[in-house]
Amino acid sequence: MDRFGDIVRSKREAKGLLLRQLAAMIDIDTAILSKIERGERKARREQVVRIAEALEFNVKELMIQYLSENIAYEILQEDSANDILKVAESKINYLRNLK
């Protein structure tokens, strides 16, 4: 399973873009994009959208990868990580029904 940064790098390379070219397209520093691709820095939500648009990649799909990785890292060290996810899913459904 690829990490978010690996997906970005793979899509960028498939489009034949250099790191500096994509960085310019999404208006961030090349060093920041490099760190995002290497998993040394988390992208911000708006950066994820700009990356997806620049790479002509499905925004929803890239956002799912981004958010799920953030959640996974947040609860990775918890012994009950899988149970936490199950309860969170129930809470999401409950909160959606409140609207």
* Nearest Cα to Cα of residue 1 among 81, 71, 73, 69: 69
pLDDT at 81: 96
pLDDT at 89: 95
Domain harbouring 13, CATH code: 1.10.260.40
Q: For the residues 50-79, what does the mean pLDDT come to?
A: 96
pLDDT at 99: 75
What is the span of the domain harbouring residue 52? 4-98
Q: How many independent structural domains does the chain possess?
A: 1
Instruction: Supply the DSSP string of 55-71, one letter for each residue.
Output: TT--HHHHHHHHHHHHH
Local confidence band at 1 (pLDDT 50, 70, 90 cut-offs): confident
Please return the burial class of 42, using the count of CB atoms within 10 Å of its CB with bins 0-12, 13-18 and 19+.
middle
The enclosing H or E element of 39 equals: none
Q: pLDDT per residue over 4-58, tens digit each?
A: 999 999 999 999 999 999 999 999 999 999 999 999 999 999 999 999 999 999 9
